Structure 1
Amino acid sequence: MSRLLDDRVFNKETLLDSTVNLVPFAILMFFLVLYVVATPSGWQDGSLMSIYMLTIIISMIWGLLHLTYATAKRI
């Protein structure tokens, strides 16, 4: 954490520019929680569709976080 602040990756302007990605992140987290909690067929059964769905949602979250960091580093 201190390394990020020392390098000035996340200064005031960069944080303001990166807050735009909070809305898609919140939406993806909502769908992840909704899928895990309220899946009628159950995600614990290990079916291929459940694995695909969780993989897609988690990869989108990871991609958004990675791109947000890379963009903040370039700004």
Structure 2
Amino acid sequence: MVFCGLRGAPAYAPTDHQRALDLIAAIDAGGMPLNAGRVNDIARNLGLEVSPHAPMPETIARIRTVLNTFSQ
């Protein structure tokens, strides 16, 4: 059970791994991230070095690779 804080927001902060999983799940469901900075932040928190000029699809592919290594 997830308890909600103010305005229905989760009462806990998701882990970096969970943020990455949520990002990939949203993309796989047909969404497209609009904030490259947020994608880069998720990647960096997973331990990746990311240039601010890196194409977002490349960064997303690298995040997928990291998540695949976690699941093995």
Q: TM-score range by the shorter chain?
A: 0.3 to 0.5
Q: Which structure ranks higher in relative contact order (CA pairs < 8 Å, sequence separation ≥ 6)?
A: 1
TM-score normalized by the length of structure 1: 0.32
More helix by percentage = 1
TM-score normalized by the length of structure 2: 0.32
Which is greater in Rg?
Answer: 1
